Amino acid sequence: MRFSEIVGQERAITTLRETLRSNRIPNAYLFEGPWGVGKTRTALALAAGLVCRTESDEACGVCDACVRVGRFQHPDVRFLFPVMTDADDPESIGETLTEVANDPHYVFTYEKASSIRIAITRDILKELAFRPYEGRRRVIVMRDADRMREDQYSAMLKSLEEPGASTLWVLTTARPNRLPPTIRSRCLKVRFRALTEAEISSYLVDRVGLGAASARLLAALASGSLARALTLRGENVAALRDDALRALGAANSGEPSRILAAASEAASWTNRERMRRTLEFQFLLLRDLLRLKHGAPEEALVNRDRLADLRKVAGTIEVREIRRRAALLDEVVRAIDSNVTPETAFFSAYARWGKALAPSTSERAEAWPAWGDARLDV
């Protein structure tokens, strides 16, 4: 767990390296930023840096201290994360830690009601009475620190305020407003940003071993979160994308029977996530068209394996029309969220998609290819 392994986040990491170099360590950090952008990994890399034998601005990754941090076996580094209070016993927490240690692409998921266990914070607060075992400092990394009970925060406060404390708290959160102001005001804030599609895509290619086209599709769906891209990687995104584009081909034909068939197919997916995914791909297609209209380079296109088709459409469709179609997709998203029958929602949008059934928009008909008629080669 080293800074050099973190994707993006140059600003945060520069600050933290400087902290290690100067050895002016605060009592507490609050790592704020969206879900799945590297806050926890960075916190653990900082912890390793603090106990590493080399005492430099980056954990060496190979000394016995670094190795033990990586296995969650270092006595001066504790890692807390939310669990289901009743269901998770110490053993299952240990199993999770083993998985995190062994899988560099591990993604934390937990139930809505999960929280940092009070018994564990109580034990840790007791430990604080003693000096660190080995390192310069004791480090407590607390992931999603907004998931705690009010009385746990008050118990923590004392430690955060103690001058010359030998403990560094590193709290991470994607929801800083849920932390009490008393806690927030005592932490040094470090901001983490959403990752770019290019950063996520290269990570998926270089470190996960995905093909370029799949990586690009996942990165586009990830909304800046590497964790989201990693969660979705089990899905066959290329096939999902093809299905989504094929449905638009049917919509664009203006033939009622094809439109009905496409709407029924979209609605046959019992899983709403899957319906949303279809819509996301359709939005991404429109985004590609808009980008082409505005002269964006090829690299900015998600569906650039279909570049010839994209160019053909972009050459004839108006920006206004692209926006009108995006609004139609928006209607479907809202309809699905408000429990309108999905088939009705899709049919209504697809029926107004093409020119044939929307004579009021009087632009010339564009050259809309039969998207996805052939399987993509990804």
Given the rule CB under 5 A, which residues bind Zn ion? Answer: 52, 60, 63, 66
Torsion angle in degrees (nearest 10) through CA of 355, 356, 357, 359: 60
Residue 81 burial by CB count (10 A; 0-12/13-18/19+): exposed, middle or buried?
A: buried
- Minimum distance, C-beta of residue 15 to Zn ion, in the bound complex (Å): 20
Identity of the residue, 20 or 218, whose beta carbon is nearer to Zn ion in the bound complex: 20
- Minimum distance, C-beta of residue 282 to Zn ion, in the bound complex (Å): 49
Say how far apart CA 38 and CA 34 lie, in whole Å: 9
Interacting residues of 102 by C-beta distance below 8 A, sequence separation 6+: none
Identity of the residue, 138 or 325, whose beta carbon is nearer to Zn ion in the bound complex: 138
- Minimum distance, C-beta of residue 135 to Zn ion, in the bound complex (Å): 10
Find the angle CA(123)-CA(125)-CA(127) to the nearest 5 degrees. Answer: 70
Whether residue 204 contacts residue 215, with contact meaning beta carbons closer than 8 Å, is answered with yes
Identity of the residue, 66 or 248, whose beta carbon is nearer to Zn ion in the bound complex: 66
- Minimum distance, C-beta of residue 137 to Zn ion, in the bound complex (Å): 14
- Minimum distance, C-beta of residue 65 to Zn ion, in the bound complex (Å): 5
Identity of the residue, 48 or 215, whose beta carbon is nearer to Zn ion in the bound complex: 48
- Minimum distance, C-beta of residue 209 to Zn ion, in the bound complex (Å): 27
Residue 65: HSE in the Cβ half-sphere, 13 Å Cα cutoff? 25
Identity of the residue, 4 or 257, whose beta carbon is nearer to Zn ion in the bound complex: 4
Say how far apart CA 191 and CA 32 lie, in whole Å: 5
Identity of the residue, 33 or 49, whose beta carbon is nearer to Zn ion in the bound complex: 49
Residue type, 301: L
Say how far apart CA 16 and CA 4 lie, in whole Å: 12
